[in-house]
C-alpha cells in the first residue's frame, strides 16, 4: 500500500467520517503493525477500524516479510498444535491492533475503533462450541474494542443473540440479502433484551452487521449472462437483461440500508435505546470490484451513509485517495429505482433472497477452505524450521 501517498490524501477519508461513515481497513498483518504503517493510517484518520478473516491471515502468514516463521518457531518450542499456533498468532495480532485503535474507540465514545476476529470456521455449525470459543477469545484478548465475527447462518443467529446477551461484541458476517439482515438485526435486538434483563450495561455492547456487496453482482451477472446466451439476439428482452448487469449489488444494499433505518428508528429499539443501547451499525463489505470493466469505486461512492461502516481493501483505499468522488448520504438516494431493479430481476426469475442463500453457503465454504490452507501453511512452515 502507498502509505505516504494515502496519508497525504487523508482529507478524503476524513470527509467520509464527516458524512457519518467509518472507513475500516479490510486487511491486517504483523508487517503493518510492526512497521508503523497501521499506526500512521490510524493517526492520519485514514482508517478508524479493521476487519480480519481466515483468508487475510492465510495471506499474511505466508508472507516471508512479516516474521511469522520466527513466531511459529517460538510457539513450536511449547509443543503447540497448528490450531494453537494459529490461535496464539491471530490473538496477538488482534490485541496489538486493538491497542492501536483504542484512542479512536475512546474518542468516539465506543462507537468506532474496532477490530474483528473470526471464530474458527470449522465450528460454525455448532452453536454451543461457537459460543464457548467466542467467550474464550474475547476474554483472552481482553479489549473492549474487539468484535467477534460470527456468520449469519441459522446456527450463527443463535450464537449472535447469545453473545450479545452476554455483553460480547459481535460482527455478524456473510450477509447477502434483506432476509439475512432482518434475521441478524432481530438476533441483535433479542440479545439486547436478554442483556437488559440480566442487568448488563447496554452502552458497552456493540455490533455491526456486514452485508457483502460485490459478490452479489458477480453471481447475478453470471445468471444474466446465461439468460442473454439463451435469448434471441434481436429481442428487446436481451437489451433489458444486458442493462441489468452490474446493478443488483448496489440496489440490494440500498434496500437493506432502508430496512436498517426503519429497524433502528422503530419502537422496539427506541425502548432499548432509552436504556443505553447502541444501534447495530450496517457495514458494507466486499467493496472491491471483481469485474475489471466496472468502475473501481462502484461499491463505495453510492453507499455512503450516516452510522455505517465501509470496509476497504488496500487497493480500494488507494483508489479513494487518488480519485474518489465522495458525497453525503448517497446510500439513501434512488431507493425507488433500486426497488425497480430488484423487481425486474425477479421477473427474470432471479430472486435475491435465493441468491443470498447460495452466496452465504459458498462464503462459509470459502472461509473453511482458507482456514484449512492457513493450518496447512503453519504445518509447512513448521516442517521447514
Per-residue confidence (pLDDT) for residue 231, from 0 to 100: 67
Per-residue confidence (pLDDT) for residue 167, from 0 to 100: 98
DSSP secondary structure letter of residue 170: E
- Which one, of 230, 179, 21, lies nearest residue 111 by Cα? 21
3-class SS of residue 149? strand
Per-residue pLDDT tens digits for 330-340: 999 999 999 99
What is this structure's pTM? 0.94
Integer CA distances (angstroms), 298 to 148, 239, 248, 323, 367, in order:
28, 22, 12, 12, 25
Mean pLDDT, 10 residues at a time, the chain of 385 residues: 92 96 94 93 97 82 79 88 92 96 96 95 91 97 97 97 98 98 98 98 97 98 91 76 96 98 96 97 96 96 97 96 97 97 96 97 91 86 73
For residue 148, the number of C-alpha atoms closer than 13 Å in the C-beta half-sphere is: 32
**Ordered structural domains, the chain, with CATH:** 3-213+277-326+358-384 (3.20.20.70)
Per-residue confidence (pLDDT) for residue 374, from 0 to 100: 86
Per-residue confidence (pLDDT) for residue 65, from 0 to 100: 75
Query: Any idea what the Cα angle at residue 277 is, between residues 273 and 278, rounded to 5°?
Result: 100
Integer CA distances (angstroms), 84 to 36, 131, 196, in order:
27, 18, 35
Per-residue confidence (pLDDT) for residue 122, from 0 to 100: 87
Strands 207-212 and 170-175: parallel
Per-residue confidence (pLDDT) for residue 385, from 0 to 100: 64
Whether 99 contacts 143, CB under 8 Å: yes
Hunting for cell 435475491 — which residue is that? 352
Considering 14, 59, 144, 149, which one is annotated as catalytic? Answer: 149
Per-residue pLDDT tens digits for 341-355: 999 999 999 999 999
Hunting for cell 488496500 — which residue is that? 314
- Reply yes or no on whether 149 is catalytic: yes
DSSP string of 32-50, one letter each residue: HHHHSHHHHHHHTTS-SEE
Cα–Cα dist 198/128, whole Å: 20
Amino acid at each position: 500500500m502507498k502509505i505516504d501517498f494515502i496519508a497525504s490524501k487523508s482529507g478524503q477519508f476524513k470527509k467520509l467520517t464527516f458524512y457519518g461513515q467509518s472507513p475500516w481497513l479490510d486487511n491486517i498483518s504483523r508487517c503493518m503493525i510492526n512497521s508503523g504503517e497501521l499506526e500512521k493510517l490510524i493517526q492520519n484518520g485514514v482508517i478508524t477500524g479493521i476487519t480480519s478473516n481466515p483468508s487475510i491471515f492465510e495471506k499474511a502468514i505466508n508472507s516471508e516479510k512479516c516474521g511469522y516463521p520466527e513466531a511459529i518457531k517460538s510457539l513450536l518450542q511449547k509443543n503447540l498444535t497448528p490450531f494453537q499456533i494459529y490461535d496464539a498468532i491471530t490473538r496477538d495480532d488482534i490485541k496489538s491492533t486493538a491497542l492501536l485503535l483504542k484512542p479512536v474507540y475512546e474518542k468516539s465514545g465506543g462507537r468506532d475503533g474496532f477490530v474483528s476476529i473470526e471464530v474458527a470456521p470449522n465450528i460454525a455449525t455448532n452453536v454451543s462450541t461457537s459460543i464457548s470459543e467466542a467467550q474464550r477469545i474475547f476474554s483472552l484478548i481482553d479489549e473492549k474494542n474487539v468484535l467477534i465475527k460470527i456468520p449469519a447462518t441459522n446456527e450463527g443467529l443463535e450464537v449472535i443473540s447469545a453473545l450479545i446477551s452476554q455483553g460480547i461484541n459481535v460482527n455478524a458476517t456473510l450477509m447477502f440479502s434483506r432476509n439475512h439482515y432482518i434475521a441478524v438485526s432481530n438476533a441483535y435486538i433479542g440479545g439486547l433484551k436478554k442483556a437488559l434483563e440480566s442487568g448488563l450495561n447496554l452502552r458497552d455492547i456493540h455490533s455491526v452487521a456486514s452485508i457483502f456487496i460485490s459478490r452479489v453482482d458477480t453471481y447475478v451477472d453470471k445468471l444474466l449472462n446465461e439468460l442473454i446466451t439463451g435469448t434471441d439476439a434481436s429481442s428487446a428482452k436481451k437489451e433489458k437483461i444486458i442493462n441489468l448487469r452490474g446493478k443488483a449489488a448496489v440496489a440490494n444494499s440500498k434496500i437493506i440500508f432502508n430496512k436498517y433505518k426503519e429497524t433502528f428508528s422503530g419502537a422496539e429499539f427506541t425502548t432499548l435505546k432509552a436504556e443505553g443501547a447502541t444501534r447495530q451499525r450496517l457495514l458494507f463489505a466486499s467493496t472491491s470490484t471483481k469485474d475489471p470493466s466496472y468502475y473501481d469505486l462502484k461499491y463505495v461512492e453510492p453507499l455512503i451513509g450516516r452510522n455505517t461502516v465501509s470496509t476497504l481493501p488496500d487497493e480500494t483505499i488507494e483508489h479513494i485517495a487518488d480519485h474518489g468522488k465522495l458525497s453525503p448520504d448517497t446510500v439513501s438516494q434512488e431507493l425507488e429505482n433500486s426497488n425497480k431493479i430488484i423487481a425486474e430481476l425477479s421477473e427474470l426469475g432471479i430472486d435475491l433472497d435465493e441468491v443470498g442463500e447460495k452466496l452465504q453457503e459458498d462464503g462459509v465454504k470459502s472461509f473453511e477452505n482458507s482456514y484449512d490452507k492457513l493450518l496447512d501453511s503453519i504445518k509447512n512452515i513448521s516442517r521447514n524450521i
